[in-house]
Amino acid sequence: MESWPVTRGREHLIRPIRQIGRIGRILRFLLLAAAVSAVVLAAAFGLAWHLCPFPVERLRQWSTSPAVLDAKGRPMLSLVGPDEQWRMPVGLADVSPWLIQATIAVEDERFYRHPGVDPLAVLRAIGQNVRARRIVSGASTLDMQVCRMMENRPRTGRAKLVEMFRALQLNRHRSKEEILEIYLNAAPY
């Protein structure tokens, strides 16, 4: 009958077990902290959603350029608006499909696939900015840009969070086509 090899006892196992126990406690603490943070953030988000309704009336606040029309309602002369921008309101059906495709390609390529905030773009921008140790990339979607134009805030981290929140709300109130039309009418081209 074979016998098991004689060892020094279990002393050589104690240190790794203690290390696993310490690492396990740290991991449990981090997991608990992440879960509590997620619950607190979800509660704060839900509370803000109900206490801060989306200001729908501000979606059409942009001034348009004054225009002189002929007897048939066609523009004869347009002037710069009070905000020193040229803005002639136009329906999405009257905009060139090329301009629409170019705008989406440059500004927000996943426009139709996110709810107002593009999580992949946010992660990409955070990674690029951390690596460069300065802001080199943004993650603003067309929805967020409409909200920024609607509520002119200073560019801070807090303002970016408000834009994200408002963009999610905007998507509950307007279709993607309506958001695109608002953007094309509000953005100074």
- The residues that bridge with 67 in the sheet, in sequence order, are 78
Tokens of 188: 């100074």
The domain 89-186 is classified under which CATH number: 3.40.50.150, 2.60.40.1930, 1.10.3810.10, 2.60.40.10? 1.10.3810.10
Place of tokens 């953005």: 187
For 92-148, the DSSP string reads GGGS-HHHHHHHHHHH-TTGGGSSSS-HHHHHHHHHHHHHHTS-------HHHHHHH
Distance CA 79, CA 66 (A): 5
DSSP letter, residue 3? -
Smallest CA-to-CA distance from 188 within 87, 100, 114 is with 87
Per-residue pLDDT reduced to its tens digit, 6-23:
555 555 555 555 566 778
Per-residue pLDDT reduced to its tens digit, 106-158:
999 999 999 999 999 999 999 999 999 988 888 899 999 999 988 888 888 88
